[in-house]
């Protein structure tokens, strides 16, 4: 690795710039001692097709990270539009995340109902990356539902513009406007 010749940017500036990056909203879960655990993760990304790999990152202090490392497996629920409340709940420290959340065990891992997508992964590799650890998961099962995805940018939830509601003038109004 090349040695940096310049100082890194201050953390807040980095955080503010990265807030402008549109990211998918996912809930990463696992089972530990028969109990579900999980957290909202916006650092989810596709990594490789052959083999099928994804990456997620967790703060080194995360209890969910410790439980995934112990279990050696995790699941990813890709949230859909309208699941902002679930994303917020699973991002709230100390919250009771599974009571009142619709979920069930699928292939031995917690699966959130009504998610836009679902993957199960075997922990393939752990990469040290500053104050976080990046988990590389070998995808062993994947499914999806056609629905608008939940995305996060500029510290607000939204959806992809293809699915966004845009006010459009009707064709008859356009024809009437042209005839005036």
pLDDT digits (tens, 9 = 90+) for 80-123: 999 999 999 999 998 999 998 999 999 999 999 989 999 999 99
- Residue ranges and CATH numbers for the domains of the chain are 23-161 (2.30.110.10)
pTM for this entry: 0.85
pLDDT digits (tens, 9 = 90+) for 21-66: 999 999 999 999 999 999 999 899 999 999 999 999 999 999 999 9
Q: Dihedral, CA atoms, 73, 27, 101, 161, nearest 10 degrees?
A: -150
Q: Which two tokens stand for residue 1?
A: 């690795």
> By the 8 A CB rule, do 57 and 43 touch?
yes
Q: Alpha-carbon distance 76 to 30, whole Å?
A: 9
The residues that bridge with 27 in the sheet, in sequence order, are 40, 77
Max CA distance (Å), the chain = 72
Task: Single out the residue of 177, 74, 49 nearest to residue 133, CA to CA.
Answer: 74
pLDDT digits (tens, 9 = 90+) for 9-19: 999 999 999 98
């Amino acid at each position: 690795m090349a040695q940096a010749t310049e100082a890194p940017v201050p953390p807040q500036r980095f955080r503010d710039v990265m807030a402008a990056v549109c990211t998918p909203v996912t809930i990463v879960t696992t089972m530990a001692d028969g109990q579900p655990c999980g957290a909202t993760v916006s650092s989810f990304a596709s990594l490789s097709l052959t083999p099928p790999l994804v990456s997620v990152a967790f703060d080194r202090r995360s209890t969910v990270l410790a439980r995934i490392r112990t279990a050696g497996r995790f699941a990813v629920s890709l949230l859909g539009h309208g699941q902002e409340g679930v994303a917020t709940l699973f991002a709230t420290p100390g919250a009771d995340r599974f009571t009142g959340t619709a979920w069930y065990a699928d292939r031995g891992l917690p699966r959130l109902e009504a998610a836009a997508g679902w993957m199960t992964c075997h922990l393939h590799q752990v990469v040290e990356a500053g104050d976080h650890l990046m988990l590389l998961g070998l995808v062993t099962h994947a499914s999806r539902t056609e629905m608008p995805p939940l995305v996060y940018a500029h510290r607000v939830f939204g959806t992809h513009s293809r699915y966004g509601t845009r006010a459009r003038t009707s064709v008859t109004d356009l024809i009437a406007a042209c005839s005036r």
